[in-house]
Amino acid sequence: MITKKTVDKQVGVLPQGQTDSDRKSSRAVAVKTVGLTKLYGQIRAVDQLTLELEEGDLFGFIGPNGSGKTTTMRILATLLQPSWGEAYICDHSIYTHPKEIRRLIGYMPDFFGVYDDMKVIEYLEFFASAYRINGPKRRKVCEEMLELVELGYKRDAFVTSLSRGMTQRLGLARVLLHDPQVLILDEPASGLDPRARIEIRELLKRLRQMGKTIMVSSHILPELADICNKIGIIEQGVLKVCGDLKEVMQRVREQKVLCVEVWEKQAEAVRILESQDDVHSVEVRDGVIYVTLKRGVNDYRDLATALVQGGCPLKMLREDEINLETAFMALTRGMTA
């Protein structure tokens, strides 16, 4: 199991006395794109994409299949040249400093090939040598990464014998070998069982705490909402929205919706709510009264007062929360490039 002690040993922790807000106040830009565009014939796989991630951001990259996520990640990993536009990793341009960028990033594609007749430990040692991790340190680092992703018991198994989930964990171990500053992970939880997904999610949280910048795509939206501080939603190559998670939610719902329950006299409660000046509409679903306020109304204390004075004692009154899945459906149409 991936424990806090194991992760601390591998990736470190914040210096004593340093808080998350302290780190944010001095964060540098880790990933930046300006007008990034990629054409395949007449198809714009990525269209004028501009975004900026700071050190320590955990960015969830969301979009339908074929929306441009993987193309963008491959460009940032210097594996694909854009048609035009610019991209930087830690102030290094993808055009002029690709070698420096490859030392700074850990890129994990959704599907990646493995080598025949190579054992798991040999696979990691091969990539460790490519990053010039030599001598006794190489074996030590590889063993530690296998422990981190819970594949130590498979160290002498052939890579081709691993299941889909195990292969994903091996890929994550590979991209952490050289202690990269920026992680670009394309569907890292794909094919993993629930326990493995939870463990990887906790690992990503710890990586962010030590200042790693992480760009991760996934179709498991509730998990992204749990770990990401920023998200971007892309469709047909166009970045529809990008920003802090809470800001994106607010953009989707410009009017507050309240969930109201009363102990008795529900019909009378509906009548009272519909008569209030700040209320746009009232609807009852599954015994709960949903009250949509007029645009710009944020103070709804008078509604509670009106219900109590009207003889409808309150059982519950809270704002209806919007989740990432709802935001995604509201901002996209399921279109691809």
User: Please, which pLDDT band fits residue 2 given cuts at 50, 70 and 90?
Assistant: very low
Best mean pLDDT range from 25-39, 107-121, 262-276: 262-276
SS3 (DSSP) at 246: helix
Residue 53 burial (CB count, 10 A) = 22
User: What pTM value is reported for the model?
Assistant: 0.75
pLDDT at 3: 43
Which whole number is the average pLDDT over 115-129? 92
Between these two residues, 323 and 95, which has the higher pLDDT value?
A: 95
Per-state percent for the chain, helix, strand, coil, to nearest 5: 40, 25, 35
Three-class SS of residue 150? coil
Residue 7 has pLDDT above 60, yes or no: no
Residue ranges of the domains in the chain?
4-251, 254-321
State the CATH architecture for 4-251: 3-Layer(aba) Sandwich (3.40)
pLDDT exceeds 50 at position 210: yes
Mean of pLDDT values over 117-141? 93
Helix (H) or strand (E) holding 270: helix 266-274
The encoded tokens of residue 37 equal 């565009």
With a cut of 80, say whether residue 255 has pLDDT above it: no
What's the pLDDT band for 196 if we cut at 50, 70, 90?
confident
Phi-psi region of 88 (alpha: psi -120 to 50; beta: other; left: phi over 0): beta
pLDDT tens, position by position, 15-44: 444 444 444 556 799 999 999 999 999 999
In this prediction, residue 65 has a pLDDT band, given cuts at 50, 70 and 90, of confident
- Summarize pLDDT for 308-331 with one digit per residue, the tens: 999 999 999 998 877 677 777 766
Residue type at 258 in one-letter notation: L
Q: CA 164, CA 209: separation in Å to the nearest integer?
A: 28
Under the banding of pLDDT at 50, 70 and 90, the label for residue 253 is low
Annotate 282-315 with DSSP letters as a single string. EEEETTEEEEEEPTT----HHHHHHHHHTT--EE
pLDDT per residue as tens digits for the range 286-295? 899 999 999 8
Cβ atoms of 49 and 36 within 8 Å: the answer is: yes
At residue 1, what is the residue type? M
User: Could you tell me what percent of the chain has a pLDDT over 90?
Assistant: 55
Task: Convert the pLDDT of each residue in 212-249 to its tens digit.
Answer: 999 999 877 877 888 899 999 899 999 988 988 877 77
CATH classification code of 254-321: 3.30.70.100
**Residue (of 27, 71, 30) closest to 49 by Cα position:** 71
